[in-house]
Structure 1
Amino acid sequence: MIELFTGFIEEHAFTGLFIASFLASTIFPLGSEAFVILLISKGFDPLSIIMVASIGNYLGACTTYYIGIRGRTDVIERYFSISKEQLERTDRLFSKYGAFLLIFTWLPLIGDAIAATGGVLKLDFKIFSFYVFIGKLARYVTITYITMSTMVFF
């Protein structure tokens, strides 16, 4: 049974990683970190893991941004579990810190609210993309580095 599971993961590794990373940045409270660690432990190419996870997570944030830009706060509140208060709090943070705040879309709990608020505020998509992708990339580089550094000791 374990061999079947291992074979499935190895055969669909990057597709699964992309889907997990995408969904982690949308409506599902899912983390992609475990998948990244698993693929690294299986010997998959770290650079490919970083890029697939970063692109998937970035595109998930773009989906959240799009829903925000369409003004669908009802969808955001209902399916993303982001309250009106969280959106208002994030709006205040944008007023204080500007677009730089988008780097933190990788953070659990508030990252989706940041991406959604970026859409609600109709921030320029190029600026949104730049900061969000940098944040997502930094996240997966860090996870990969820590995982690989720890594996050396085992």
Structure 2
Amino acid sequence: MGDIAALAALALSAFTSATLLPGTSEAALVGLLALGETAAWLAILVATVANVAGSAVNWGIGRYLVRFRDHPRFPVSRERYARTEALYRRWGVASLLLSWTPIVGDPLTVVAGVMRTPLLLFLPIVVLAKGGRYVAVAALAEGLL
């Protein structure tokens, strides 16, 4: 697979991994690095940018969905919404440092949109969290950790 095609596949995997769709971006990153044809920094950059873009889509979905919170078909009960809002208000944007984690991270980026976290505050925190994860994965794959 050519460098561009491999990076595009990594970007697609990283993007879908950041949304509520299933994805395996860490495995894609490790696989790409194992081929030895792509610089680690470039693979990390592509994975981070695509994963953060997916998180920004989640944030946008949250911003859009909040308009319908009083609708009977809103996917979250009023009680659960109130609990989630209280937790997010308690921990604030610092909780976005967990956006890299499985299971919790993707919904957290939706919650950030629902709670109207400014995008310019959201993005640097998510870049730090998700970029840090890919640096750690790449370092492990390269035997540096």
Shared fold by TM > 0.5?
Answer: yes
Q: Share of identical aligned residues, percent?
A: 26
Query: What's 2:124 paired with?
Result: 130
Aligned residue-pair number: 137
**RMSD between superposed Cα atoms in Å:** 2.4
Query: What's 1:42 paired with?
Result: 35
Change (3 A) 1:11 1:95: closer
Query: What's 1:106 paired with?
Result: 100
State the TM-score, normalizing by the size of structure 2: 0.84
Unmatched segments (≥5 aa) in structure 1: 1-7, 75-81
Give the deviation of 1:9 after TM superposition.
6.3
Q: Distance in 2 between matches of 1:15 and 1:30?
A: 14
Letter in 2 for 1:140: Y
**Which moved further from structure 2: 141-150 or 113-122?**
141-150
Query: Which runs of structure 1 show a deviation greater than 6 angstroms over 4 or more consecutive aligned residues?
Result: none
Please show how residues 63-78 of structure 1 align to structure 2 within 5 Å: 63-71=57-65
Change (3 A) 1:96 1:108: same
State the TM-score, normalizing by the size of structure 1: 0.79
**SS of equivalent residue, structure 1 residue 109:** coil
Q: Distance in 2 between matches of 1:95 and 1:101?
A: 10
Contact between 1:19 and 1:56, CA under 8 Å: does it hold in 2? yes
Answer yes or no: is 1:120 the counterpart of 2:114: yes
Contact between 2:16 and 2:51, CA under 8 Å: does it hold in 1? yes
Give the deviation of 1:48 after TM superposition.
0.3
Please show how residues 41-60 of structure 1 align to structure 2 within 5 Å: 41-43=34-36, 44-60=38-54
Letter in 1 for 2:39: D
